[in-house]
Amino acid sequence: MAQYSEELDGLFVALADPTRREVVRRLGRGPQSVGDLASAFPITLPSFMKHVRTLEANGLIRTTKSGRVRTCALRRERLALVDGWLAEQRRIWEDRTDRLERLVAEPEEQQ
């Protein structure tokens, strides 16, 4: 459980930044070189590389190098952790609202 929690924490930290979320969105369309990805942002390449390293360290992307070109690819299976957590939260809140609805509806049925 602690490992799962730490992994989720890292994923949410990585996704907390709008630049990194945009990188993930762009990589959802397919692998791209770091240069192509970086050209879409008004920041220096070294600053952009910090974002790439954060995403890679948290397992959201993987990079490969061929010659002088570093290519990034999305690791979709890591997003499944976030999806699973969100589904669990949704289920909890739906159960709570269902109980509240029953509680509110019971007095009407008793009258």
The tens digit of pLDDT for each residue in 50-61 reads 999 999 999 999
List the one residue out of 81, 16, 97 whose CA is nearest residue 51: 16
Residue 72 belongs to what H/E stretch?
strand 69-74
The tens digit of pLDDT for each residue in 24-41 reads 999 999 999 999 999 999
| Percentage above 90 pLDDT, the chain | 63
Number of helices and strands (H, E) in the chain? 5, 3
Q: Name the domain count of the chain.
A: 1
Q: To the nearest whole number, what is the mean pLDDT of the chain?
A: 89
The CATH number covering residue 11 comes to 1.10.10.10
CA distance 13 to 59: 12
**Domain housing 56:** 2-110
